[in-house]
Structure 1
Amino acid sequence: MMGKIISINISTRKGEKKTSVQSAVLKENHGIVGDAHAGDWHRQVSLLAAESVDKMRGRGIELHPGDFAENLTIEGIDLKGLKIGQRLKIGSEAILEITQIGKECHNGCAIKRLVGDCVMPREGVFAKVIKGGEIKIEDKIEVI
């Protein structure tokens, strides 16, 4: 299964809207350098499929990659079909390992308040960085 990165999104503080960047550095067992959610835990990097964002757009709300606070917006891979422990290779060197499928939506979720629903709890996945490296928009992602 092959896909690609549509958007890389980071925030310097938790609870802050993520900003799209052209490239980022994945650090082994840490996450995206400069992102507030990086650290020594199992949810170092969050991923959401562009198809999931598009589904929510169908409800008439203007949404953009990163609006669900995901670090990587990707297309071409059925993220919700992945299993914990599966690995993704990004670009020529970075490797992520899936650690969690979905999450509990927090009470202050702006998307849920606005739309009445949020796809991240059902369709978002979380990973830890097994092998670091620089990643950029349009990089290929494959399940390995």
Structure 2
Amino acid sequence: MTFTIAGRVLCVARDAEHRFSKRPVSEIRIVAGLGIEGDAHSGATVKHRSRVAVDPSQPNLRQVHLIQAELFEELKGKGFDIRGADLGENITTQGIDLLALPRGAILRIGSDAVLEVTGLRNPCAQIEQFRSGLLQAVLDRGPHGEVIRKTGIMAIARSGGLVRAGDPIHVGLPALPHFPLERV
């Protein structure tokens, strides 16, 4: 797999509690097979409350949440002041069109951490409780009427390591055919 430098990390965050927003920190430790050390969504099996209620033995495809900072600029134009970690992401990126990545894309972040992209984050009602009108602002329609979710992507931790603001992000694409991201 060939990797290209695609962007960088702007902000990292975690929260041991199940809150909508996370807490920005100076660094996060990614643990292979689990996600972010000290984060409520860390684990081999699902931690998202609604998914735990359905089947707590499901594999956790949502260990790490990434959002592109470019979304914040778009939202600013719609009257929303959103900053890194506000929407519950662990890693805020710049310079990568995260939503255009295929399922199975590999992100090497910093010197050691490796994530595998699993799908799209599906915005839920909590986003509306955070800021009224925000749910509509992060959803769009494609040319064929399909819903476009703009609230980032989810990934699993393949290799561990420390991640800090300023770290480069290298992207590797899986073998063809590429499969588009779906909500996970």
TM over 0.5: yes
Could you tell me how far apart the structure 2 residues matched to 1:96 and 1:64 are? 23
Q: How far 1:9 moved relative to its partner?
A: 1.4
Q: Which residue of 2 aligns with 1:32?
A: 36
**Number of residues of Structure 1 aligned to a counterpart in Structure 2:** 143
1:36-79 Cα distance to aligned partner (Å, 9 max, x none): 11111110000000001111111122211111111110001110
Instruction: From the superposition, tell whether residues 118 and 27 of structure 1 become closer, same or farther in structure 2 (CA, over 3 Å).
Output: farther
Q: Which residue of 1 aligns with 2:114?
A: 95
Instruction: Work out the percentage of aligned pairs sharing the same amino acid.
Output: 31
Contact kept in structure 2, 1:111 and 1:117, CA below 8 Å: no
Unpaired runs of at least 5, structure 1: none
Larger CA deviation: 119-128 vs 80-89 = 119-128
Q: Which residue of 1 aligns with 2:126?
A: 108
Matched, 1:4 2:8: yes
Larger CA deviation: 107-116 vs 1-10 = 107-116
Select the structure of larger CA radius of gyration: 2
Q: Which residue of 1 aligns with 2:68?
A: 49
Could you tell me how far apart the structure 2 residues matched to 1:140 and 1:5 are? 6
Contact kept in structure 2, 1:25 and 1:132, CA below 8 Å: yes
Unpaired runs of at least 5, structure 2: 45-59, 140-147, 173-184
Could you tell me how far apart the structure 1 residues matched to 2:77 and 2:93 are? 18
1:74-131 Cα distance to aligned partner (Å, 9 max, x none): 001110100111100001111000011232x222323452435253871310000000
Instruction: From the superposition, tell whether residues 118 and 72 of structure 1 become closer, same or farther in structure 2 (CA, over 3 Å).
Output: farther
After the TM superposition, which segments of 4 or more aligned residues of structure 1 sit over 3 Å from their partners? none
